[in-house]
């Protein structure tokens, strides 16, 4: 198949999508237009900032918009859409005149949906990967043009795994476009749905097993409660030696009891404060050898 010659319209929003867009630009593909979510407040303060994708587009003097109007106005052009974590369903009325492909961060049909990276870590999957798939009106059901696998390491968080997949996805997309799309392969196997992470899932349950608690921390940046105060648990290690603690009990070394053992807090973020070493946070709680999380 010949190299993809159609001008590309890129739809995406977060940092991972910006990584893929940068790879396309650096590989010499023509980006006719970028569509991304509107500027939003990010962090403290009242000012708004552009999405990571919009910033890359502006840096490269690529025209940007925030809805489908540009696609409708250019429906007579022979374009190819590239979708990476755009955050909205592409309507059939747009797909009828602009074909699109999606860079999806899982090995479809496993983990179709909004949170494939988080769900893969939570489930204890040994591998995940990237698929280049055809965009259909239904969610993540299109034929797959290419895929690559990657091992999920014990050190992977949702953030670091997403970053790795974005690099892999950009490389795979460029290779696929250089080789020509060809015919996609229908998805086969059991479908699993990666539901959006709910607010309720962020609260740690210390009655789970140590491995389940560890996966929640890696996948979700979960929090626990100490009285009325939230404590985000940023990183934690599994404890291999014997520790006699009830679920939710935390000793002076940062070991927290679970259903079948313990995890050790490495970095935390107290409510209203910056991320800090768990040891420093514990030293600030003088006179309490054992504290109880809920």
* Confidence label for 242 from pLDDT (cuts 50, 70 and 90): confident
Sequence length of the chain is 294
| pLDDT the model gives residue 17 | 98
| pLDDT the model gives residue 45 | 64
Give the integer Cα–Cα distance in Å for 231 and 101: 40
DSSP 180-248: -----B---S---EEPPPPGGGGB--TTS-HHHHHHHHHHH--EEEETTEEEEEEEEEE--S-----BT
| pLDDT the model gives residue 42 | 66
Express as a percent the part of the chain with pLDDT over 90: 87
Pick the CATH number of 199-292 from 1.10.10.60, 3.10.25.10, 3.65.10.10, 3.40.47.10: 3.10.25.10
- Residue at token pair 């607010």: 199
| pLDDT the model gives residue 284 | 84
Q: Do domains 8-194 and 199-292 have the same CATH topology?
A: no
| pLDDT the model gives residue 11 | 98
Q: What is the mean pLDDT of residues 224-253?
A: 94
Q: What is the mean pLDDT of the chain?
A: 94
In degrees rounded to 5, what are phi and psi of residue 143? -60, 150
Does residue 180 register a pLDDT over 90? Answer: yes
* Confidence label for 41 from pLDDT (cuts 50, 70 and 90): confident
* Confidence label for 114 from pLDDT (cuts 50, 70 and 90): very high
| pLDDT the model gives residue 43 | 64
Q: What is the mean pLDDT of residues 97-104?
A: 98
Structure tokens at 246: 């009830």
Does residue 171 register a pLDDT over 70? Answer: yes
Give the integer Cα–Cα distance in Å for 52 and 47: 16
Per the model's pLDDT, the better-predicted residue between 293 and 288 turns out to be: 293
| pLDDT the model gives residue 6 | 96
The pTM assigned to this predicted structure is: 0.94
| Residue spans of beta strands (DSSP E) within 135-280 | 144-151, 193-194, 223-226, 229-238, 249-250, 255-257, 262-270, 276-277
Asked if residues 252 and 282 have their Cβ atoms less than 8 Å apart, the reply is yes
| pLDDT the model gives residue 46 | 66
pLDDT digits (tens, 9 = 90+) for 214-231: 999 999 989 999 999 999
Give the integer Cα–Cα distance in Å for 242 and 262: 8
In the chain, domain spans: 8-194, 199-292
- Tell the CATH superfamily of the 8-194 domain: Formyl transferase, N-terminal domain (3.40.50.170)
Question: Beta-carbon neighbour count of residue 285 at 10 Å?
Answer: 12
Per the model's pLDDT, the better-predicted residue between 36 and 48 turns out to be: 36
| pLDDT the model gives residue 44 | 65
Does residue 287 register a pLDDT over 70? Answer: no
Does residue 112 register a pLDDT over 70? Answer: yes
Structure tokens at 72: 């409708």
Task: Map residue 149 onto helix, strand or coil.
Answer: strand
Q: Which contiguous run of DSSP H or E holds residue 161?
A: helix 158-179
Express as a percent the part of the chain with pLDDT over 70: 97
- Per the DSSP assignment, residues forming a β-bridge with 217 are none
């Amino acid at each position: 198949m010949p190299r993809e010659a159609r001008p590309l319209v890129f739809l995406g929003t977060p940092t991972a999508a910006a990584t893929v867009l940068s790879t396309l630009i650096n590989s010499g593909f023509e980006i006719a237009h970028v569509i991304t979510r509107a500027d939003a407040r990010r962090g403290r303060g009242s000012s708004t900032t552009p999405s990571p994708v919009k910033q890359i587009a502006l840096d490269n003097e690529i025209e940007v918009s925030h809805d489908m109007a540009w696609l409708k106005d250019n429906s007579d052009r022979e374009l190819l859409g590239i979708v990476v974590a755009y955050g909205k369903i592409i309507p059939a009325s747009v797909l009828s005149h602009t074909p699109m492909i999606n860079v999806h961060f899982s090995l479809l049909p496993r983990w179709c949906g909004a949170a494939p990276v988080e769900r893969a870590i939570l489930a204890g999957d040994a591998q995940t990967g990237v698929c280049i798939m055809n965009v259909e009106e239904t969610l993540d059901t299109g034929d797959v043009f290419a895929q690559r696998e990657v091992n999920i390491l014990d050190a992977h968080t949702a953030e670091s795994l997403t970053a790795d997949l974005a690099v892999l996805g950009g490389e795979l997309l460029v290779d696929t476009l250089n080789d020509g799309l060809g015919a996609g392969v229908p998805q086969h196997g059991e479908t699993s749905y990666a539901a959006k992470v709910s607010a309720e899932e962020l609260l740690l349950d210390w009655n789970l097993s140590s491995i389940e608690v560890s996966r929640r921390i890696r996948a979700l940046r979960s929090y626990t409660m100490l009285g009325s105060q939230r404590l985000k648990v940023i990183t934690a290690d599994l404890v291999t030696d014997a520790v006699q603690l009830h679920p939710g009990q935390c000793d002076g070394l940062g070991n927290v009891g679970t259903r079948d053992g313990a995890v050790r807090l490495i970095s935390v973020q107290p409510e209203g404060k910056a991320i800090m070493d768990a040891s420093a946070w514990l030293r600030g709680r003088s006179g309490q050898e054992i504290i109880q999380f809920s």
